[in-house]
Amino acid sequence: MWNYSEKVKEHFFDPKNAGAVEDANATGDVGSLSCGDALRLTLKVNPATEVIENAGFQTFGCGSAIASSSALTEIIKGKTIDEALQVSNQDIADYLDGLPPEKMHCSVMGREALQAAVADYRGEEWKDDHEEGALVCKCFAIDEVLVEQTIRENNLRTVEEVTNYTKAGGGCSSCHEGIEGVLTRVLAENGEAFVPAAIGSTTQPLTTLATEVSPTPKAVPEAAQQVAVSNGILKRIRKIEMVLESVRPALQADKGDVELVEVAGNIIYVHLTGACSGCQMAAMTLGGIQQRLIEELGEFVKVLPDTEMPVALGGA
């Protein structure tokens, strides 16, 4: 069974604003092929103030689709249309204390229903501009369509390149076989063959771009490191820094960056900057970093943005 948050369960078992709004003047009907889910959002908008006075949903879908719909209606009620349009799918996921990576598209569906309803209110025609595919990389929630498009647009040839451009494969690496499959298929379209990197080649996922973007410090051999750092805490922080260092090139490729702010027990606070902060993928990025850290440190840690840091630790 999915690892749903208490908040998701709450909104699924006892959804808010279920049903169609009686005197609605805006309707948005959208569906997500990934799950066969579909959602109808009805709004009652005050024509003078453009405030959403009432919102209701009808959903054909799984637990998280219903919870996302319920959360969406709660978030947008009382907002003006323009304010509501600022709501991202990440906001919906955050409102629910997060969604499993496979279920993020449920929150995307919520956002799209909102856009469709607003378009309907304004007498515009809403067209969906993105396509979803099967999930390839679970660490960073990257789907097949995105991987395929990125390979085509940038003439990518290796798994490492795919990781650098999309982050897919940069976590636990168990999806590399799948990425090779997509590469083989796309390259074959132009009569090319996929050639895997030689075993022992120096190229590592997520670090190839380093030479172009910023020089990566030479990794200290683990044995030497242990001699240099005898203190356990220092060693742990050193390891954390090394993981952050290894994901940095991929983030910089997306015009963003990450830095370590504080380590409080098993919670690691980081600061996301540039395009990464507020980026819809921020939570995914953190999830991916967390996965790497768990593997590297051999313990469970939680990675949170510094905005969630308690005041006592120097947070806002």
Catalytic amino acids?
Answer: 35, 106
Q: How many residues does the chain have?
A: 316
Under 8 Å between Cβ of 26 and 3? no
- Which residues sit opposite 60 in a β-bridge? 38
Determine which residue in the list 11, 40, 167, 292 makes contact with another protein, applying CB under 8 A. Answer: 40
Cβ distance to another protein smaller for residue 9 or 255: 9
Determine which residue in the list 24, 26, 32, 205 makes contact with another protein, applying CB under 8 A. Answer: 32
Determine which residue in the list 5, 7, 18, 271 makes contact with another protein, applying CB under 8 A. Answer: 18
Q: Residue 196 interacts with another protein (CB under 8 A)?
A: no
> CB 89 → another protein: shortest distance, Å?
12
| Angle subtended at Cα 28 by Cα 24 and Cα 33, rounded to the nearest 5 degrees | 150
Task: HSE, CB side, 13 Å, CA atoms: give it for residue 188.
Answer: 6
Cβ distance to another protein smaller for residue 181 or 274: 181
Distance CA 125, CA 289 (A): 39
Q: Residue 38 interacts with another protein (CB under 8 A)?
A: yes
C-alpha distances in Å from residue 91, one per residue of 132, 154, 230, 290: 20, 31, 42, 20
Q: Residue 95 interacts with another protein (CB under 8 A)?
A: no
Question: Per CB under 8 A, which region of 127-135, 161-169, 224-232, 295-303 contacts another protein?
Answer: 127-135
Cβ distance to another protein smaller for residue 20 or 219: 20
Locate 154 and state its tokens: 């940038």
Distance CA 136, CA 168 (A): 7
Q: Residue 63 interacts with another protein (CB under 8 A)?
A: yes
Locate 277 and state its tokens: 């902060």
Question: Per CB under 8 A, which region of 8-16, 78-86, 158-166, 224-232 contacts another protein?
Answer: 8-16
Provide the sign of the torsion angle of the four alpha carbons 197, 202, 204, 207, taken in this order: negative
Distance CA 119, CA 168 (A): 33
> CB 193 → another protein: shortest distance, Å?
13
Question: Per CB under 8 A, which region of 102-110, 211-219, 248-256, 308-316 contacts another protein?
Answer: 102-110
- Full strand arrangement of the beta sheet holding 256-264: 256-264, 267-274, 302-305
Q: Residue 186 interacts with another protein (CB under 8 A)?
A: no
Cβ distance to another protein smaller for residue 43 or 276: 43
Q: Residue 62 interacts with another protein (CB under 8 A)?
A: yes
Task: HSE, CB side, 13 Å, CA atoms: give it for residue 50.
Answer: 9
Cβ distance to another protein smaller for residue 132 or 306: 132
**Residues of the shown chain interacting with another protein in the complex, contacts defined by CB under 8 A:** 1, 12-13, 15, 18-19, 29-40, 57-66, 102-103, 105, 108-109, 112, 116, 126-128, 130-135, 181
